[in-house]
Each structure stands twice: as structure tokens, then as C-alpha cells.
Amino acid sequence: MSPRRVPAGSDATGRRDRPLRITVDGEPADGIAGQTIAGLLLAAGRLAWRRGPSGAPRGVFCGIGVCFDCLVTVNAERDVRACRRRARDGDEITTQSRSAEPTPPPTDSRTPGTEER
């Protein structure tokens, strides 16, 4: 997926750009009607907007809705694939994170009062 767009004046179909504005984690981002959320984020220079379980940054991987690397929350709906969902004016996008589960503290298997001497 490329963040580049064909300028409306060069589009043989006679398309007219209709601007839209969404917010991503509270910050405004401008786009064009018809862009996917992933396309809008890429065009805004954001290559990653989620962290995987390992902490590695994630954004668009497949671009066709198969891999689930581009998940975002849209208008309080979690796990929306940004590459499949078209941006709508006023959408509120929140990035998601799947951080690794914290490792529980080690447990002492010995019975209290039976310390080794």
C-alpha cells in the first residue's frame, strides 16, 4: 500500500477531492473521502500505530485485511482493520496495543518454616 495519491486534476475519471478530518489519539489528521484509515495514516507519515505482543511496532502489513496488524479503535469500536475501513469525516481513531502479559513473580514452593539451613 502506498501513501501516494493521484492528484484529482490528473485523474482521468474526473474525481473531485472531498476533504475530511479525523482525529487519531486526539490529534487531527486530514484526508480525502474514499481513503482507508490506513491510507490516511500512511499519507500523514505514520508507518506504525500499534504495538504487537513483543512491543514491535505494527502498521499495514498485507493491506487487504488478512493479517490484523493494522487494528485500531474507531469511534469506540475495537479491532477495526484500518486497511479495510474507509475514513469518514469526524471519525475518532484510537491506536491499540497488545503488550506482553506481565510475568508473575516467582513463587516459593517451600512450605513456610522449612527454610534450608
Q: What is the pLDDT of residue 56?
A: 87
Cβ pair 40, 29 in contact under 8 A: yes
What pTM was computed for the model? 0.70
pLDDT > 70: percent of the chain? 72
Cα–Cα distances (Å) from 87 to 42, 93, 114, 116, in that order, read: 13, 10, 64, 64
What are 7-53's pLDDT values in tens digits?
767 767 766 789 999 999 999 999 999 999 999 999 999 999 888 88
